[in-house]
Amino acid sequence: MADLSQNQWQEELLKDDNAVILDVRTAEEVEEGYIPNAVHADIYQPQEFMSKIEALDKTKTFYVYCRSGGRSAQACAIMNQMGFENTKNLLGGFSEWTGEVANK
* pLDDT for residue 9: 95
- Domain with residue 43: its CATH number is 3.40.250.10
In a domain, residue 50? The reply is yes
Q: How far is CA 36 from the centre of its chain?
A: 12
In a domain, residue 58? The reply is yes
In a domain, residue 102? The reply is no
pLDDT tens digits in sequence order for the chain, 104 residues long: 999 999 999 999 999 999 999 999 999 999 999 999 999 999 999 999 999 999 999 999 999 999 999 999 999 999 999 999 999 999 999 999 999 999 97
Report the domain count for the chain.
1
Q: Is 76 designated active site? A: no
Annotated catalytic residue, options 66, 76, 79, 91: 66
In a domain, residue 29? The reply is yes
Whether 53 contacts 38, CB under 8 Å: no
- Rounded to two decimals, the pTM is 0.96
Q: Which domain holds residue 69?
A: 2-96
In a domain, residue 101? The reply is no
* pLDDT for residue 91: 97
* pLDDT for residue 79: 98
For residues 63 and 8, give the distance between their C-alpha atoms in angstroms, rounded to a whole number.
11
Whether 52 contacts 38, CB under 8 Å: no
In a domain, residue 39? The reply is yes
